[in-house]
Amino acid sequence: MHYTVLNNEITTWAIAIAIAAAVYMVLHIAKRIIVGRLTAFAETTTTYLDDLAVRMLSATHPLFMLALGAYAGAQWLLLPEKTATVLSRLAIAALLLQCARWGDVGVHGWLHHYRVQRSTADAASTTSTAALGFVARIALWLIIALMILDNFGVNITTLVASLGIGGIAVALALQNILGDLFSSLSIVLDKPFVVGDFITVDDISGTVEYVGLKTTRIRGLGGEQVVFSNSDLLKSRIRNYKRMQTRRIVFTVGVVYEISKAQVLAIPRMIREIVEAQPQARFDRAHFKGYGASSLDFETVYIVQTPDYGVYMDIQQEINVALFERFGQEGIGFAYPTQTVYFSNPANNTAKAA
């Protein structure tokens, strides 16, 4: 006696199920063998491509292998044309989804490896790969989704046109968020700063910690975290001190009025000798700038040959100590705020200083 289920005998169903199970087991065993051998080979090499291949193959999902087994077993059955077509499309959809998973793991793994390798030498990689990786993975899944819809007979041309019209409405509603998103891409591509740079935005200074799709986060000098929207950040004036090559230093020294002309002419020469004695400083100029309220003011400009702030402070300290010693030797006094009051009474014609 023969039993028939959906136009197929029980024996036929048993064979189809056996084929499906066999295909699944073969694929599962093949995956384990290939991944195992490839892992052993990757441990003997220094390249990352074989490691990436291991990660991608390890991402092969059991449901994908089960779908292929079911499709292979279904070929043994006598099925209606529509059912066979649906199974075929489902198998293609499973293949496309698995390809998307392989691609997603590959993009994520490669970008992570690139970021780790280049983060020390090129901090910009940390900034750029995060945003570019996100865009690449979104684009990959979007393409796969459109291919799956096309596989099921959906007119994606009309769908894309409809999405375009809807996208305009969404863009108008989310223009602030989209503005920040495009600003983040501008930061990634133009690189006005990268993670690790010390920048000043308006009156806020700090080190860039994170550049996201909507916000950029800076660790302030006081230890607090300051969050900027990317759009507002690019509208501001940004000073990137990490990219300084030299420092131009201007400082003023005030001396008392009670010195001679010869001493006034000698002071610029003294300052020049002191600045030129510093190995990492390049003298620019020193002049008798003008008459202050209680001092004769001398302005000096020199260039520090390194952007290091600590080096600059060490040089300025050496200059200040040398000026203190040299002025002491020459009998030149540093000025401090004073006022001289003259009385009109002839009996008190001696000037008194306050």
- At 131-186, the pLDDT tens digits run 667 778 888 888 888 888 888 887 777 666 666 666 666 555 556 666 777 777 77
| Model pLDDT for residues 213-257, shown as the tens digit of each residue | 788 899 998 889 999 888 888 888 898 988 888 899 999 999 999
Cα–Cα dist 21/16, whole Å: 9
pLDDT at 119: 60
Single out the residue of 215, 206, 212, 211 nearest to residue 239, CA to CA: 206
As a whole number of angstroms, the distance between CA 37 and CA 51 comes to 12
- Going by pLDDT thresholds of 50, 70 and 90, the confidence category of residue 206 is very high
The more confidently predicted of residues 40 and 213 is 40
Mean pLDDT across the stretch 323-341? Answer: 88
What is the structure's pLDDT at 18?
A: 93
DSSP designation for 203: T
d(C-alpha 126, C-alpha 104), whole Å: 19
Q: What pLDDT, on a 0 to 100 scale, did the predictor assign at position 333?
A: 93
What would the DSSP string read from start to end of 56-112? HHHT--HHHHHHHHHHHHHTTS---HHHHHHHHHHHHHHHHHHHHHHHHHHHHHHHH
More confident residue, 194 or 97: 97
Whose CA is closest to 283, among 309, 313, 305, 253? 305
Contact yes or no for 283/272 (Cβ under 8 A): yes
pLDDT of res. 325: 95
Q: Which residues contact 112 (CB under 8 A, 6 or more apart)?
A: none
**What is the SS3 assignment for 350?**
coil
pLDDT, position 354: 47
Distance CA 274, CA 99 (A): 70
Q: Which residues on adjacent β-strands are paired with residue 302?
A: 249, 283
Pairing of strands 225-229, 198-201: unpaired
Q: Closest by alpha carbon to 106, among 140, 80, 73, 82?
A: 140
Residues 6+ positions from 108 with CB-CB distance below 8 Å: 133, 137
With CA atoms as reference, report the closest residue to 322 among 287, 276, 258, 286.
276
DSSP string, 312-333: HHHHHHHHHHHHHHHHHHHTPP
Residue 149: per-residue pLDDT: 85
Residues in the chain: 354
pLDDT digits (tens, 9 = 90+) for 54-107: 888 899 999 999 998 888 988 888 888 888 888 888 889 999 999 999 998 888
| Neighbouring residues of 212: CB distance < 8 A, sequence distance ≥ 6 | 130, 184, 230
- Asked if pLDDT for residue 287 goes beyond 90, the answer is yes
Confidence category of residue 353, pLDDT binned at 50, 70, 90: very low
